[in-house]
Amino acid sequence: MIFVYQANESLGLNHVFFTRLAQRLIRALSSASDAGSLYDVDMELRPSGAQGTLVVSADALDAYHASAAELWERQALLRGRPLTGNQELQARVLDMRERYAFKRPLPDDAGQQMLVMRERMNDAANVTPSVVNIKLSPGGLVDVEFLTQYLQMRFGANANENDLVCSQNTLLALQGLEKSVAILERYPTLNLSVLGRDYCYLRRVEARLRVSDVRADSRLPDDEESMRVLARRLGFQGTQAGVQLRHELEQLQLRVRTASAEVFGS
């Protein structure tokens, strides 16, 4: 989350007030109870990350994205949507999203920057080739999301903010991007319809993984019995259900990696 405020000094609605309000909200969302905690609140996307203030004024957020934000922060804006607040402030934040995520030209090395960020994510999560991670492994969910976000930033400048191309939802954005003549001309073998189906299937696998995993893990089981149980939850039958699922996922991840290679040129 990012907390954005609009000050009103006459009412005492200043930086200190909104900081304390944000702290109380984070405690309420993340405190443990008999039923467990509600959310694991992540504030790392705020300007300057952990080094920045907990809350940021709308003016400061605008200035930051105009002059100092990095490409990965522009990616984050693509997924941004107001959760609450007055309509004037929500509209202003959405206007920033349109100007800085879509309208601003991409740097020439944007694709390479995104590939470097992907490597950093895998290093931080200690992703290894020996374990398939539905989210982070090559050909996984994050690869689809990065590819989609790159295309949104590259080809979304002329889209209306209500067009699917500008959607915060990856699947809807892919459906909007499918209709782009410019993308078809630039990437003639890129099949965004298939990519969307593969994304849905990866999400389905991830959901079945988390049915019995309180850690919300995205790694495939490393033992055959657990893999067989997962495969059966996904509709596979017989003693080779786990093997069949692994094979299907290998083919899917190969398609995603091929699509990524076409877009990012690697």
Instruction: Give the tokens for residue 210.
Output: 């988390």
Question: Residue 131: pLDDT above 60?
Answer: yes
Question: Residue 48: pLDDT above 90?
Answer: no
Question: Residue 204: pLDDT above 70?
Answer: yes
Examine the fold and report which residue of 103, 118, 146 is the final residue of a domain before the chain moves on.
Answer: 103
Question: Residue 211: pLDDT above 70?
Answer: yes
Q: What is the pLDDT of residue 214?
A: 55
Q: What is the pLDDT of residue 149?
A: 97
Judge if 17 and 123 occupy the same domain.
no
Q: What is the CATH number of the domain that holds 226?
A: 1.20.120.330
Judge if 151 and 226 occupy the same domain.
yes
Judge if 212 and 115 occupy the same domain.
yes
pLDDT band at 129 (very low <50, low <70, confident <90, very high): confident
Judge if 36 and 118 occupy the same domain.
no
Mean pLDDT to the nearest integer, 116-141: 91
The number of distinct structural domains making up the chain is 2
Mean pLDDT to the nearest integer, 230-247: 94
Judge if 203 and 226 occupy the same domain.
yes
Domain that holds residue 227: 110-264
3-state secondary structure the chain: CCEEECCEHHHCECHHHHHHHHHHHHHHHHCCCCCCCCCCCCCCCCCCHHHCCCEEEHHHHHHHHHHCCCHHHHHHHHCCCCCCCCHHHHHHHHHHHHHHHHHCCCCCCHHHHHHHHHHHHHHHCCCCCCCCECCCCCCCHHHHHHHHHHHHHHHCCCCCCCCHHHCCCHHHHHHHHCCCHHHHHHCCCCCHHHHHHHHHHHHHHHHHHCCCCCCCCCECCCCHHHHHHHHHHCCCCCCCHHHHHHHHHHHHHHHHHHHHHHHHCC
Share of the chain above pLDDT 70, in %: 97
Judge if 208 and 136 occupy the same domain.
yes
Q: What is the pLDDT of residue 49?
A: 85
Q: What is the pLDDT of residue 19?
A: 96
Examine the fold and report which residue of 57, 85, 103 is the final residue of a domain before the chain moves on.
Answer: 103
Q: What is the pLDDT of residue 127?
A: 87
Please state whether the predicted TM-score (pTM) of the whole model is above 0.75: yes
Judge if 52 and 117 occupy the same domain.
no
Angle between helices 71-78 and 87-97 (to 10 degrees): 130
Judge if 85 and 188 occupy the same domain.
no
